[in-house]
């Protein structure tokens, strides 16, 4: 294994200079830094993480809290976060924060307090007051993605506005019998995103002077299978078949497309379908969606964390520090004017 002494000899500098040049801490001329980096690269030298941590007080490791590891949205946010942090020489440690009270308590009471991370990114997790207290007591930056919290810097999407945009697209096409696939209460957990998207859907209908019809709502579980089952229920009801469906996630929208096809309906000629997320399979299914750029959300959370770490202080906002995340309607081939209008 290559030592720091070998790098110093090849570069013609002291070991202290090598340490300053490779850590980025301390004053080193650009020419000397370039010579040290070239020597380290040629020898295949990598800074020892434990040694660097002892010298700097930093682990170069960020803890990321997620509620689900298997869901596409969370894995995509995580991929964006990980890629951005890796570009800056940071590792990540994943903590799966479930609804199991014992496991959840162990994350905040034990695992995070081992001081193995320099900061914490919480992805779409509603944190209790006691949990936030424990994290802030660690005196390290905490960045949240999801609903705003008055004590944390938060990156958030306006889910009510997202749903309004999706529904208004269908209304602009001329649809009036619009169904919504949302979530049942057990899936409406952190930050009540399904509830907010249902609110946006209903606001758009009311602004258009349309009645909100409970028969045109079907709960599901934010999976393709759940969307498939919900769409079959909506499209199979005699006398109240919708001409369009707004699904609260792209995965449920894809399930709705598959259900419509199985029932013999053409998309979009017989039924238009729109989702939310920006799923990677959206292009394949020609799905119209409101893209919330989940990978970019992860990158922005990583950038916010790096900014906080480079600043050297931990911000304690006295008012909610909220960064609004962008979203955009992407129109593809799953939405069109209603059949009766198109025939005119």
Cis omega (within 30 of 0) for bond into 268 = yes
H helical segments located in the chain: 4-11, 15-23, 30-43, 49-56, 72-87, 101-106, 129-136, 159-173, 193-207, 224-235, 250-262, 294-311, 339-342
**What is the helix (H) or strand (E) element at residue 113, kind and residue range?**
none
Architecture of domain 61-157+295-313: 3-Layer(aba) Sandwich (3.40)
The answer to whether 154 and 148 have CB atoms below 8 angstroms apart is yes
Pinpoint the alpha helices (H) of 88-144.
Answer: 101-106, 129-136
CATH architecture under which domain 4-56 falls: Orthogonal Bundle (1.10)
3-state SS class at 240: coil
Output the tens digit of pLDDT for each of the chain's 344 residues. Answer: 678 888 888 888 888 888 777 766 667 888 888 898 888 888 877 765 555 544 445 568 899 988 887 888 889 999 999 999 998 888 998 888 877 778 888 888 887 777 688 899 988 887 888 888 888 888 889 999 987 677 888 898 999 999 999 999 999 999 999 999 998 766 655 557 888 999 999 999 999 999 999 999 999 988 999 999 999 999 998 778 999 999 999 999 999 999 999 999 999 999 999 999 999 999 999 999 999 999 999 999 999 999 888 875 444 444 447 788 999 999 999 999 998 665 44
| Domain 61-157+295-313 and domain 159-291+329-342 have a common topology | yes
Rounded CA-CA distance 210/202 in Å is: 9
Domain boundaries, the chain: 4-56, 61-157+295-313, 159-291+329-342
How is domain 159-291+329-342 classified at the CATH fold level? Answer: Rossmann fold (3.40.50)
pLDDT of amino acid 330 = 97
């Amino acid at each position: 294994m290559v030592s720091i002494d070998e790098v110093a000899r090849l570069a013609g500098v002291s070991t202290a200079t090598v340490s300053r040049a490779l850590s980025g801490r301390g004053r080193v001329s650009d020419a000397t830094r370039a010579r040290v980096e070239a020597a380290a690269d040629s020898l295949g030298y990598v800074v020892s993480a434990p040694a660097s941590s002892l010298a700097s007080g930093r682990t170069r490791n960020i803890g990321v809290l997620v509620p689900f590891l298997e869901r596409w949205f969370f894995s995509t946010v995580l991929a964006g976060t990980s890629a951005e942090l890796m570009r800056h020489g940071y590792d990540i440690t994943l903590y799966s924060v479930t609804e199991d009270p014992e496991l959840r308590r162990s994350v905040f009471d034990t695992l995070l307090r081992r001081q193995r991370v320099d900061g914490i990114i919480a992805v779409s997790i509603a944190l209790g007051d006691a949990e936030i207290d424990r994290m802030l007591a660690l005196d390290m930056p905490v960045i949240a993605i999801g609903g705003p919290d008055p004590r944390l810097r938060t990156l958030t999407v306006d889910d009510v506005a997202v749903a309004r945009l999706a529904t208004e697209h269908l209304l602009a096409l001329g649809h009036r019998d619009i169904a919504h696939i949302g979530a049942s209460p057990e899936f409406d957990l952190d930050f009540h995103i399904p509830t907010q998207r249902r609110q946006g859907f209903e606001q758009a209908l009311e602004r258009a002077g349309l009645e909100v019809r409970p028969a045109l709502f079907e709960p599901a579980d934010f999976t393709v299978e759940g969307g498939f089952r919900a769409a079959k229920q909506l499209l199979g009801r005699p006398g109240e078949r919708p001409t369009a469906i707004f699904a609260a996630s792209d995965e449920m929208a894809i399930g709705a497309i598959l259900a419509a096809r199985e029932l013999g309906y053409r998309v979009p000629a017989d039924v238009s379908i729109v989702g939310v997320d920006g799923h990677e399979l959206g292009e394949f299914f020609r799905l119209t969606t409101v893209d919330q750029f989940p990978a970019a959300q992860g990158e922005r959370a990583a950038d916010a964390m790096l900014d906080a770490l480079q600043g050297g202080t931990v911000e304690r906002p006295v008012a909610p520090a909220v960064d609004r995340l962008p979203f955009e309607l992407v129109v593809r081939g799953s939405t069109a004017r209603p059949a009766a209008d198109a025939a005119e």
